[in-house]
Amino acid sequence: MNKTLILIISGIFSLTLPNCKSGEDSEKDDLAGETLEITDIREEILISMLAPSDMAVMLIDNPDLYFNKDIINPTNNAVKYNTNSKIALNIGIYTADLSYASLFEQEQVTYDYLDIVKGMTEELGITNSIEKRHLDMIKNTKPDKEEMIRIINESFMNTDAYLRENNRQKVITMILIGGWVEAQYIAVTLSEGSMKKNAQLTESILAQKISLELMSKALENVTNDDVLLSLKNDIDRIYKAYLLMDTQLTDANFKSFCDLINEVRANYIV
């Protein structure tokens, strides 16, 4: 198929209309020029990495788990994120957090975090992806977890579609990486670093190796973008930790994996 044609058309569109997006002043925009690097990230329509909300469902939707507000990224951290890269990464992190809250039917937390994500997406010039009706539905209709997941997934799909429309693969890739790491962070925290704590949770954590493989594949052509190279390095380190557990699934290797996830996540939320 003519994938090159699609990339060229996307490229023309983004290169000719780079200043139409709001919230991207050049001083704080370390994603400026992102559209020039479309060859760095493999066209991700081909590699459909998991969204943070889907990641949370696959990983931590488990009746033996519980909601702990103390472990998620506090909303007051949002004001610290003053570069577009940090905003993108933490949109993914907050989306994973609100998905975790929704799985335990924490309407108020879900609402507060979705509102924060709405503000952050608007800072990146993504308008109308999270609609007021989405927030109202969570606040006013007391949805169960399935309904909340539908609302969250729809709003995420709007964001994803907007970014694709505007050829902003780098932003969506960073959101997905942030979401992946945060969902894993929640899972390993709930596991308390022990694979014996909850067998189903351990199995789910190990299962996510395949989604990380797709992420690695999506990033394999990244060579000259410092921000993406740094994230790629994190992904590679996590993948190596998975390989170690494949070779020998010991308490020590599992604990090392959990520690690594904690370290990477701590670096993303500062």
Q: Is 243 in the site for other proteins (CB under 8 A)?
A: no
Q: What is the DSSP letter of 78?
A: G
Q: How far apart are CA 179 and CA 97, in angstroms?
A: 8
Residue 129 CB, nearest approach to other proteins (Å): 11
Which CA distances in Å does 183 have to 28, 50, 56, 100, 177? 28, 11, 6, 8, 10
Q: Are 179 and 51 in contact (CB under 8 A)?
A: yes
HSE-up of residue 43 (Cα within 13 Å, Cβ side): 12
Near other proteins by CB under 8 A: residue from 36, 214, 245, 260: 214
**Residue from 24, 34, 54, 234 that binds other proteins (CB under 8 A)?**
54
By CB under 8 A, tell whether 8 contacts other proteins: no
Q: Both tokens of residue 246?
A: 């494949």
User: Applying CB under 8 A, what is the total number of residues that bind other proteins?
Assistant: 42
Query: Which one of residues 100, 111, 113, 156 is an interface residue with other proteins (CB under 8 A)?
Result: 156
Nearer to other proteins, 9 or 71 (CB): 9
Contacts of residue 3, Cβ cutoff 8 Å, sequence gap at least 6: 43, 46
The residues near 268 (Cβ < 8 Å, ≥ 6 apart) are: 89, 90, 93, 178, 181, 182
**Site for other proteins contains 28 (CB under 8 A):** no
Is residue 156 a contact partner of residue 95, using CB atoms and an 8 Å limit? yes
Instruction: Note whether 215 and 49 are within 8 A (CB).
Output: yes
Nearer to other proteins, 156 or 254 (CB): 156
Which of 1, 79, 252, 270 contacts other proteins by CB under 8 A? 1
Q: Does 110 bind other proteins (CB under 8 A)?
A: no
Q: CB neighbours (10 Å) of residue 26? A: 9
Considering the complex, what minimum distance in angstroms separates the CB of residue 259 from other proteins? 24
Identify the residue among 160, 182, 225, 234 touching other proteins (CB under 8 A). 160
Footprint on this chain of other proteins (rule: CB under 8 A) = 1-3, 6, 9-10, 12-13, 16-17, 45-54, 57-58, 146, 149-150, 152-154, 156-158, 160-161, 164-165, 207, 209-211, 213-214, 217
